[in-house]
Structure 1
């Protein structure tokens, strides 16, 4: 029978890149490590690694076992952590993700504080992930709540998304840009400027929304030589490598060399959504309901 120890040993070997380094990290003899992997392959009735004197390569079966085995161990670790919290008197751990453009503004952090006060047994594990990836993580049970930029392109049957706020879109430019001195700018004037963020073909979110707004004005965003859909795009803008259309909240984290200019073309806004599974754990559902109530649609 395959043991969790063998799972961990195999993954450690692949990540370390050698038996010797893995053995050092695991504090076991290299011969014992090799024996465990041989027993694992015998149990599976297929080789996972092709070895020679100095290195190894993964077989197709080994690659599959590594990718899925690592995910299984991560889920086991999450389960152990939640069990530890329960054993210490907590009701549970809730994994909350937010995109880099959904900054934890005072409004959002205040709502999180109120939700935690209403659920004293909850512990939050907060991390950052692109909007489209959040829905997949929640769908597959690796996250519980997502704060994301709409729209999302992929449709997951078990995911529900509630709108919890919107905010004005602005143009972020370098302080040295001619646009920096403007009080406002029309979207159509940006057709010749290089955009730090352009949409990924498989993702929605802010860059997808911006591209569609530009297309309505007859142009597609011209890509800059350095691209980013993360919060690092503000640093690239400060360096003069391009511009971006971003939510007004990003002023809170912007470097000193970035300026924000209003868009004069209509009322251009972006919407924030709160995502959960429809069949989420009752504790997750209750916490999400409380958080959503505190974040009734309004300005972020």
Structure 2
């Protein structure tokens, strides 16, 4: 029994005759008659009572008609679902985004645009620092991440450069620095800073420290925060100054003034889109293509 024979059988039942069915399915009457006999032989019982005025269904024929229409509908549904999966129209995608960039306009457009184009894809978003993102990508528990990476890509990771960021100085709005910004980092040698732990984002931390070493600047750190959002909240509370990515200005947080310094602007902080090498399912490929369009 083949799906093609079932389609022919349904056509015979619904048109009421072999001749009408042959016109509907576009095959000759003798060929269609032969296919109906082969179908009956394959199921081992008579399906059609043939007479001069047409055909009548036997009890077995009525049962097969009901089952055949269900099977063909299920086949169409399976084909449609497989096609949707194969083109990335359905599925699931887990995305990591650094806390700093959750409010970046391009990231918001990327997430919103992806959802609009592929509404049946479940997009799970995880606010994670670069270090944890990289760990999860390598472990396979994250599909794609927006994060800081070194120029030398980690083993097993492919990446696409999204944009170049730089550093800015964040000061409490109530501080004297907000009214009279420093001209250089040298003016901040005695200022108290809020800083982050290296363990939570080694790539970001090392890049910043290396830049300060070239400038012969070492901040006086008196407080630590778990991520840039926490650090900024501590700055807003007056606990110290902070040096953060310029993208931090996109976050809607009051009580902070951001100051551009040439020495900080010269520190390139490239933002990357990263995923596991050799793994590019359709849902991920569509996301990468859209990200490239929006950022580049």
TM (normalized to structure 2)? 0.62
Q: Which has the larger radius of gyration?
A: 2
The verdict on how the C-alpha distance between 1:291 and 1:191 changes in structure 2, with shifts beyond 3 A counting, is farther
Provide the secondary structure at the position in 2 that maps to 1:220.
coil
Match of 1:164 among 148, 159, 162: 162
Give the corresponding residue for 2:15: none
Aligned to 2:101: 102
- Alpha carbons of structure 1 residues 123 and 184: separation in structure 2 relative to 1, 3 Å: farther
SS of structure 2 residue aligned to 1:104? coil
Q: How has the CA–CA distance of structure 1 residues 101 and 206 changed in structure 2, closer, same or farther, with 3 Å as cutoff?
A: farther
SS in 2 for 1:225: strand
Larger fraction in helix:
2
Q: 2:175 aligns with which of 177, 189, 207?
A: 177
Structure 1 position 235 matched with structure 2 position 233? yes
2:246 to 242, 245, 248: 248
CA contact (8 A) 1:92 1:123 kept: yes
For 1:196, the equivalent position in structure 2 comes to 194
2:154 and 2:106 map into 1 onto residues whose CA distance is 28
CA distance in 2, matches of 1:209, 1:194: 21
Q: Where do residues 19-168 of structure 1 align in structure 2 (5 Å cutoff)? A: 91-151=90-150, 156-168=154-166
Report how far residue 271 of structure 1 moved: 1.5
Shift of 1:141: 1.0
Instruction: Indicate if the aligned counterparts of 1:168 and 1:267 stay in contact, CA closer than 8 A.
Output: yes
Q: How far apart are 1:237 and its partner, in Å?
A: 0.4
SS in structure 2 opposite 1:195? strand
**Aligned pair in 2 of structure 1 residues 208, 111: CA closer, same or farther (>3 Å)?**
same
Q: In the alignment, is the contact (CA less than 8 A) between 2:106 and 2:295 conserved in 1?
A: no
Q: Structure 1 residues 193, 205: closer, same or farther in 2, change over 3 A?
A: farther
Q: 1:243 to 1:232 in 2, by over 3 A?
A: same
Shift of 1:290: 1.7
* In the alignment, structure 1 residue 296 sits paired with structure 2 residue 291: no
Q: CA deviation at 1:170?
A: 1.2
Distance 1:250 1:112, change over 3 A: same
- In the alignment, structure 1 segments of 5+ residues that lack a partner are 1-85
1:208 deviation in Å?
2.9
For each residue in 1:149-178, what CA deviation from the matched residue of structure 2 results, as whole angstroms up to 9, or x when unmatched? 23389x642211221012342100111222
Rounded Cα–Cα distance in structure 2 between residues aligned with 1:289 and 1:226:
35
Q: Which residue of 1 aligns with 2:214?
A: 216
Determine helix, strand or coil for the equivalent of 2:295.
Answer: coil
Alignment gaps of 5+ in structure 2: 1-84
Distance in 1 between the 2:255 and 2:103 partners? 22
Alpha-carbon distance, 1:242 to partner: 1.5
Report the alpha carbon displacement of residue 139 of structure 1 after superposing the two structures with TM. 1.1
Instruction: Give, in angstroms, the shift of residue 274 of structure 1.
Output: 0.6
Task: Spell out structure 1 runs of 4+ moving beyond 6 A.
Answer: none
